[in-house]
Chain A
Amino acid sequence: MINFLKKHAEIIFIFISSLTPLWWLKNNEVVIGHDSGFRLNYLDHLINLFFSWNHLHNFGTDWGILKGFLVIQFPETFFSVIFGSLALGQKAAFIFWFFIMGASMYVFLRNFFPKKENWILRIFGSVFYIYNFFLLQGWFIAERAKFSLFAALPLGLLIIYKTLNKEYPLHKGVILFSLLSFFLNGGGSPPLYGSLILVYGLSFIFSTTLNIRKTGIRAIPFALKTAILFGLGFLSVNAYFILPQIYAAVSGYSGILSSIGGISGILAWENAINKFASVLNLIRLQGIPDWYDNPSHSFSHHYINNPALIILSFAPILLIIFGLFFQNRKDLIREQQNLIHLLFIVLLVGMVFAGGSHPPFGFIYIFLVEHVPGFAIFRSAIYKFGPAVWFSMIVLSSFYLNLILIKFVKNNRIFNVIGIVSILLVFVYHFPFFTANFFEFNKPFTTKVSIPSYVNESREYVNNLDSSTKLILIPKLDPLYKVDSYSWGFWSLEPLPFLSLNHPVISNDTVAPEVIDQIYKSIGSDESDYSLKLLGRVGINKALFRNDIIYNDKLNINEAIESEKEKILNNKNISIERKFENWEILSINPAYYVPLFYSPLAITNSNAALDKNRDISSSEDQVRTLTIYQEVENSGKSNVINKFDNDKYIEPECILCMDREYESIRINLLIPKATILPGSIFHKLKQNKEKKIRSQIVDPSQEIDINLAFSQTRISEFDGVFNQPYLSSEERLLKLENLSKEYRSLIENAVNGSSQLPGIQSDKYKAKTAAYLYSQKDLLGTLYANDSGPRSITLDLIKFIETNISLIEHDIWYSESLSKKKLVFSVEEKGEYQLKNLGNFEIKEANLDGKIVSMADRLTLDKGEHRLEIKLEGEDNQVLDQRLGEFSLNNNQTFKLNLKDVDEYDKYILTFEYKAPSDVTIETFTEHDKSVNSRINLYGNTDWELISQELKNNSAAPNNSDLIVKNISKNRNVASIRNLKLTKKISPRIYLFRDSSNKVQGSPIISFKKINPTHYTVKIRDAKNPFILSFGSSFSPGWKAYISNNSESGDEIQKTYFNGEIKELKPGNKLFDKSLGSVFMGKPIPELNHIKANGYSNAWYIDRTGDFEIIVFYEPQKAFYLGGIISIVTLILFLYILLRMKNGKN
C-alpha cells in the first residue's frame, strides 16, 4: 500500500487537488441556470438529446446540432443516477472534470519529462493547469465543453507528436486520437475547437519541418497520411454529431448555426470582448473581459489593484525569460528541446489569435474574419484561442522553473522545499478558487442555488401527469430581458420549468413565436373567451404560476407582476389545481382544446399580419379550426390552400396613415457630404462603380431606387462644387451645369418610372420620389440663400424640382388626415365580400373604387387591386400629453410625459418640431424599469424640423406611469423643441371578409401515437374526402409526412377527443419503431402540400381516402441514425484493435 502510494504520489496529489468542488457545493446546493445547461430532470434530458427535435421547448425546436452533448453531459447524469441526486452527482462530475484536466496535463508532462528531478515541473504544471483564471471563469457555469477540450489538448498533442516522431505506430496514434476526441469532444461545438486546431496544426507543421531536416522530402507524404488518417478517425468516431451538423448546415433547418450575425456585428462584438486581451494581460494569463467590465466582479479588483498580486502575475513570464537567459543547449535532450520550441511557436501564434481584434496583432484576426470563409465562427477570440496561450505559458513556466532550480539549487532539501512552496503559491495566487463566491454574477442572481422543496414537489407532480400535458408559464418571463429569475437566486434565459419538466413548457422567451405573445396578451386582458380559444387551439391545458419570480430589475413582485396575477386569477376559465407553497399548478378549461393531431372542420385564410390573429381567430367558434396566414413558408402553395373553399379575411393596407407620416419621410432622408467631386482623380472610379450598379438592375422599381440614390449623390456633389475653394467661376459653372444635366435626367427617369409602375406600387414610388425632391429642394434652398455663388443655375434647378413635385404629388393615394384613411387591397379570386370593422371606431363613410358602399353590402369584387377610402368618426389618434410651447433640452436633462390607459396593442408616437445647432440623441424610457424604449436622432438643423417617431412599446409598463424623455448627447448638445405631442394611435382593424358556403367536408377518424419526439404514427380511418392534417408542433420543413398502407391499431388508448373521433394512444418512448422502414424507403408527401398553419404549426394536405397510416417524422433525425451507426461500428473496431495490440498481436 505504501509502495503504491509512493509510486503514484504525484497523481494522487493531483486527485486531492481536484476535490475543491466539495468545498464549493455544500449540502444540497447545485449549479443550475445561466448557460450551465444543468437540469433537474437529468436522465430524461440525456434521453431527449438522442432526438433532433426538442419537443419540450415551446412548440418544439430543432436541436440536432447538440448531439455532442450526449458525451459531455454523460458524467453528471451517470453520477446523479448512481447517487440518486443531482447535488451529489454534480459534486462527483465536477471532481471528474477537475481531475481529468490535471491528469491529462500530468500524462503529457510525464511523457516528456519522466526524470525524478522533474517532479516540480510535473506537479506545478498539472496544478497550474487546473487552477487558473481561464478555467475559473468557466467554473461559474461549469462549462463542461470547455473543460473537455482543455483536457483533450495536452493528450492530443502528445499523441500527434509521438506519432509524427514514429514513437507510436500510425494505427495506434489514429485510434488513440480518435478515442480521445470521442470522449473529450467539446460538446461537438466547432467554434470551441479553435485552440485545438491551432495547437495540433502547428504541431504537424513543426514536426514535419524537423522530419524533413532529418529524413528529407519523404516526411511530407508521411505527415499528409497521418493528418488524413487522424481526420478520418475523428470524423468516423464522431459521425453521430458531425453528420447532423452537416445536415443542418446544408438544409438550413436549424436557426442556431445562422444566428452568428454579419461580419460588422462580429467585429463590434470582438472589440468589446477582447478589449482587454492585450499582450500585457495575456502574458500574465489575464484579460478575461468580465474582470474589467463588471464592477461587481467578486475578485478581479484584487488582481487589478493589489501590488503584490500584480507582481505575482508576472512570475510565469519572468520565469520563462530568466530560464531562456540561463538555458544552455546541454540542459535538454533533443526531444525536450523540440517540444519547448514548439510551445514557443504555439505561444506566439496563440497570443496573436487569442488577442482577437485587440492591437497590435488585431489586424490579422480582422483580416481572417473578413476574408476567410467560416473563420467568423471563432468570435470571442480569447475564449476560443485562449487555451493555446494558457497551455503553452503553463508548460513553459513550469519547465523553466524546474530548469532554474536544477541549475542553481544543488541542495536536495532546499530544492524540494522551493518546489513545494512554488506549488503552494499556485494555490495561494488563485485564492478566489477557495474564497470568492464566483457563482454569484449579479446579486442575488447566482448559478449556485439550493432548489426550494416546492420546486421539486411541483416537478414531481407535473412529471406524473399524462403525456398530453402542455404548460404555460405565468407570470411571463421578464418582458425586457426574457429571463426567468427567482427571489432565491436562479437566473437563466432557459426557464427553470423547462430545465425540470418532462412536458412542453410555453414561455415568451427570445425565440417564442408571435402566437405566444398573443396568448399572454389575451390572458392578461379581459377577453377570457378569446384567451380560452387561443390556449385551447395550441393545446395548452395547464399553467404554472410562480409567486417567487423577481424580474431582472430585482423588484420583487413589482407592480406589473401583481397586476398580471390579479388579471389571471380573475379569468374564470383558469383555476388552481394544486398548490405547492410558491408554485401553483393551474388548470385551464378544455372547451377549445385540440390534441396534437386533428383534422380541421373550418379553415380560414388571411393575408393579415399575425398580430391580427385576435380579430380572425376570435370570430371563429368552431373548435377544430385552422388559420392559414400569408407567410413566406406558404408562398407558392396557394393551389393547395385554395383546394378548400375557405373563409377569407383580407386586410387592406393603409397608406401613409400615421400622423403627418408623409411629411416626415423626407426628414429622414439625409444628403451625405460628397468627398469625391468631379475633377478628382477618383471620380472616374466613382462613375465606374455607378455604372456597375446600374448594370445589375433587374426590375423597374429597383431602377427608380437607383435613380433616386444617384440624384442624391449629384445634389451633394452640386453642393460640394458650389462651395469648392480654389475654383475659377467658369470652371465652377461648367461643372455645376454638367451636374444639373445629369441630375435632371435622373429625376425625369424616376418620375416617369414611378408613373409607369402598376397599382399601389406607383403611388408608393411617387411618394418616395416626392420625398427625395423635397429634401433636395431644401438643400438647394440654402445654397440659393448664399449670395456669393452662381444663383441662377440653382434657382433653375429649384424650379425644376417644384414642377416635378406638382406633377406627381397631386394624385398620390395617401391618407391626408387622421380621420380619412386611404387603403388598398388585392383580391385573388372573384367573389362576394363584405366589409368588417373590428376596430373601436365607427366608419362614417366607405368608398370602394369610387363608389359609396355600406357595411352591410355584399360586394362583388373582381380579381385584382381595389382602393378603399374610409371616413372615421373622429380621429384615431388620441393625444395623451402635449407641450405646445418652446423649450430647450440640454444634455442629460429630462422631462416627463404621462402614459394614460396603457394598452400594449396600440402604438405610441412622439411628434415634435426641433432645432439643434449640432446632432442630438434623445432616449425615451418608462419610469418604472428605466428600460430604453426608443432612441431618436436629431440631426443638426437651424430651421424647425418636424419629427414623428413610433416608440417601442414596453408591455410591462403599468398604467399612468411616466415616460421619460432624456437628451443623452455626450457633447453638451442642446435641442430646442416645440409643439411636442405624445399620441396613442389605434390601428384601424378593417377587413374584407368572404364567408364560405362550402365548408370542409367532415373529418376522418384519427388515432395518433408518439414513438419519440421525432417520430409519430397517425392511423386514418374512414377518410371520405381529401383532408388537412394538423400537427401542433412548430413548423419546420424538416417535418415530413409519409403514407403507408398499414392501418392496424392494437395500442392502448390514453385519451379520446371529440366523441372518439380522435384517439391519443399511449406513447411508445422508443428510439426506433418498425415504421422507420417506411421513412427510409418511402417518399414523403411533397413539400408543396406542407403548410404553415396558425402562424406556427404544421399542416399537410392529404389527397387520399380510406384507411391508411401517416408517419410524421423529423427528417434531420436520419442523419443522427446514420452517424450513430458509423460511430458505433468505428468505436467497436478501434477498441478491438486496441485490445489485440495490448495482447501483443498486430
Chain B
Amino acid sequence: MGKIKKNINPKTLKFFLLALSIVLTFLSTLPYFNIFLDSQVTFLFIIVIVISILGFPYRYVYLISIALIILCLLLLIVGQDLIAEKLAFYSFIAVFLGIFQGIYIYVFKKNEDN
C-alpha cells in the first residue's frame, strides 16, 4: 500500500475504481461477458469498493438499504417478484457491509480509543 500511496494519487485511484465499477456493471449486462460477470456479483463488487475503499459512511448505506427494501415492498405488491428479489439481495448485502464496518470499528478502533 505504501508504494501505491507514494506513486498514485488517491483521487486518481478512487476515480479509477469507480470507473472500473461502472464499466464492469455495464459489461455484466452484455452477452458473452455476462457468462463471467453476474450483475449481482458486480453489484457486490461495487458496493464493497464504495463502502470500504472510498470510505462511504455506513449509516448512509443503511438508508440506501431502507430505500431498497421499501422499493422491494412496492414491487412485490405490484407483482414484480423477480426484480424485488434482486433488490432484496442488494439491500441485504448493503446492510451487511454496513454491519461489518460497524463490527470492524467496534472490535478494533474501540480498543485503539481506549
Which A residues have a C-beta under 8 Å from some C-beta of B?
A: 209-210, 213, 278-280, 283, 307, 310-311, 314, 317-318, 320-322, 324-325, 329, 337, 341, 344, 348, 351, 359-360
Residue among A213, A314, A324 with the most chain B CB within 10 A?
Answer: A324
Given contacts A310-B77, A321-B65, contact A280 B106 (CB under 8 A): no
B103 x A341 contact (CB < 8 A): yes
Residue pairs across A and B with Cβ atoms less than 8 A apart, 16 shown, are A210-B107, A213-B111, A278-B88, A279-B85, A279-B88, A280-B89, A283-B88, A310-B73, A310-B77, A314-B72, A324-B99, A325-B59, A341-B99, A344-B96, A360-B41, A360-B89
B69 x A314 contact (CB < 8 A): yes
Given contacts A213-B111, A321-B65, A360-B40, 14 further A-B contacts (CB under 8 A): A213-B107, A279-B88, A280-B81, A280-B87, A283-B88, A310-B73, A311-B77, A324-B99, A324-B102, A325-B59, A325-B62, A341-B102, A341-B106, A359-B40
B106 x A307 contact (CB < 8 A): no
**A572–B59 alpha-carbon span in the complex (Å):** 85
B95 lies within 8 A of chain A by Cβ: yes
Given contacts A310-B73, A348-B96, contact A322 B85 (CB under 8 A): no
- Residues 45-87 (chain B) with a chain A CB within 8 angstroms: 59, 62-63, 65-66, 69, 72-73, 76-77, 81, 84-85, 87
Residue among A213, A310, A325 with the most chain B CB within 10 A?
Answer: A325
Chain B residues positioned under 8 Å from A317 (CB to CB): 69
Chain B residues positioned under 8 Å from A310 (CB to CB): 73, 76-77
Q: What 7 pairs between A and B have smallest CB-CB spacing? A: A280-B88, A325-B62, A280-B85, A360-B40, A279-B89, A278-B85, A307-B77
**A809–B73 alpha-carbon span in the complex (Å):** 70
B86 to chain A, nearest CB (A): 9
Chain A residues positioned under 8 Å from B72 (CB to CB): 280, 314
B85 x A321 contact (CB < 8 A): no
B89 x A314 contact (CB < 8 A): no
Minimal Cβ-Cβ distance residue in B for A329: B106
Chain A residues positioned under 8 Å from B59 (CB to CB): 325
Given contacts A279-B85, A283-B88, A321-B95, contact A311 B40 (CB under 8 A): no
Minimal Cβ-Cβ distance residue in A for B43: A360
A318 x B92 contact (CB < 8 A): no
Chain A residues positioned under 8 Å from B81 (CB to CB): 280
B96 to chain A, nearest CB (A): 6
B106 x A337 contact (CB < 8 A): yes
Chain B interface residue count, Cβ-Cβ cutoff 8 angstroms: 30
B94-113 CB contact bits vs A (8 Å, 1 = yes)? 01101100110011001100
A325 x B63 contact (CB < 8 A): yes
B40 x A321 contact (CB < 8 A): no
B73 x A314 contact (CB < 8 A): yes
Chain A residues positioned under 8 Å from B95 (CB to CB): 320-321, 324
Q: Main secondary structure on chain A at its contact with chain B?
A: helix
**A633–B101 alpha-carbon span in the complex (Å):** 62
Chain A residues positioned under 8 Å from B85 (CB to CB): 278-280
**A325–B63 alpha-carbon span in the complex (Å):** 7
**A334–B73 alpha-carbon span in the complex (Å):** 34
**A209–B85 alpha-carbon span in the complex (Å):** 34
A609 to chain B, nearest CB (A): 51
Total contacts A-B at CB 8 Å = 66
Chain A residues positioned under 8 Å from B84 (CB to CB): 280
Chain A residues positioned under 8 Å from B38 (CB to CB): 360
**A126–B59 alpha-carbon span in the complex (Å):** 29
Minimal Cβ-Cβ distance residue in A for B89: A279
Given contacts A337-B106, A344-B96, contact A321 B77 (CB under 8 A): no
Which B residues have a C-beta under 8 Å from some C-beta of A?
A: 38, 40-41, 59, 62-63, 65-66, 69, 72-73, 76-77, 81, 84-85, 87-89, 92, 95-96, 98-99, 102-103, 106-107, 110-111
**A341–B104 alpha-carbon span in the complex (Å):** 10
**A337–B77 alpha-carbon span in the complex (Å):** 35
Minimal Cβ-Cβ distance residue in B for A307: B77
**A320–B62 alpha-carbon span in the complex (Å):** 10
**A943–B33 alpha-carbon span in the complex (Å):** 41
Chain B residues positioned under 8 Å from A279 (CB to CB): 85, 88-89, 92
Chain A residues positioned under 8 Å from B77 (CB to CB): 307, 310-311
B62 x A321 contact (CB < 8 A): yes
**A324–B69 alpha-carbon span in the complex (Å):** 14
A325 x B66 contact (CB < 8 A): yes
A123 to chain B, nearest CB (A): 26
A344 x B99 contact (CB < 8 A): yes
Chain A residues positioned under 8 Å from B88 (CB to CB): 278-280, 283
Chain B residues positioned under 8 Å from A307 (CB to CB): 77
Chain B residues positioned under 8 Å from A213 (CB to CB): 107, 111
Minimal Cβ-Cβ distance residue in B for A306: B77
**A209–B104 alpha-carbon span in the complex (Å):** 12
Minimal Cβ-Cβ distance residue in A for B63: A325
Minimal Cβ-Cβ distance residue in A for B38: A360
Residue among A280, A311, A348, A351 with the most chain B CB within 10 A?
Answer: A280
Chain B residues positioned under 8 Å from A311 (CB to CB): 73, 77
A324 x B62 contact (CB < 8 A): yes
**A329–B106 alpha-carbon span in the complex (Å):** 8
**A310–B79 alpha-carbon span in the complex (Å):** 11
Chain A residues positioned under 8 Å from B99 (CB to CB): 324, 341, 344
**A409–B73 alpha-carbon span in the complex (Å):** 27
**A360–B99 alpha-carbon span in the complex (Å):** 20
Chain B residues positioned under 8 Å from A314 (CB to CB): 69, 72-73
Chain A residues positioned under 8 Å from B92 (CB to CB): 279, 283, 351
Residue among A210, A213, A348, A360 with the most chain B CB within 10 A?
Answer: A360
B100 to chain A, nearest CB (A): 9
Given contacts A311-B73, A360-B40, contact A322 B66 (CB under 8 A): yes
**A213–B110 alpha-carbon span in the complex (Å):** 11
Chain B residues positioned under 8 Å from A322 (CB to CB): 66
A339 to chain B, nearest CB (A): 12
Chain A residues positioned under 8 Å from B65 (CB to CB): 321
B19 to chain A, nearest CB (A): 25
Minimal Cβ-Cβ distance residue in B for A206: B103
B46 to chain A, nearest CB (A): 15
Chain B residues positioned under 8 Å from A359 (CB to CB): 40
B52 to chain A, nearest CB (A): 16
B68 to chain A, nearest CB (A): 10
Chain B residues positioned under 8 Å from A344 (CB to CB): 96, 99, 103
Chain A residues positioned under 8 Å from B103 (CB to CB): 341, 344
Chain B residues positioned under 8 Å from A321 (CB to CB): 62, 65-66, 69, 95
B110 to chain A, nearest CB (A): 8
**A839–B81 alpha-carbon span in the complex (Å):** 63
**A310–B77 alpha-carbon span in the complex (Å):** 7
Chain B residues positioned under 8 Å from A324 (CB to CB): 62, 95, 98-99, 102
**A210–B41 alpha-carbon span in the complex (Å):** 30
B36 to chain A, nearest CB (A): 14
**A317–B87 alpha-carbon span in the complex (Å):** 14
Minimal Cβ-Cβ distance residue in B for A320: B95
Minimal Cβ-Cβ distance residue in B for A322: B66
Residue among B81, B85, B111 with the most chain A CB within 10 A?
Answer: B85
Minimal Cβ-Cβ distance residue in A for B110: A329
**A344–B104 alpha-carbon span in the complex (Å):** 13
**A209–B66 alpha-carbon span in the complex (Å):** 31
Chain A residues positioned under 8 Å from B111 (CB to CB): 213
**A982–B107 alpha-carbon span in the complex (Å):** 76
**A279–B85 alpha-carbon span in the complex (Å):** 7
Minimal Cβ-Cβ distance residue in A for B94: A321
**A318–B68 alpha-carbon span in the complex (Å):** 11
Chain B residues positioned under 8 Å from A278 (CB to CB): 85, 88-89
Residue among B63, B73, B96, B110 with the most chain A CB within 10 A?
Answer: B73
B57 to chain A, nearest CB (A): 11
Chain A residues positioned under 8 Å from B69 (CB to CB): 314, 317-318, 321
A278 to chain B, nearest CB (A): 5
A989 to chain B, nearest CB (A): 59
A310 to chain B, nearest CB (A): 5
B104 to chain A, nearest CB (A): 10
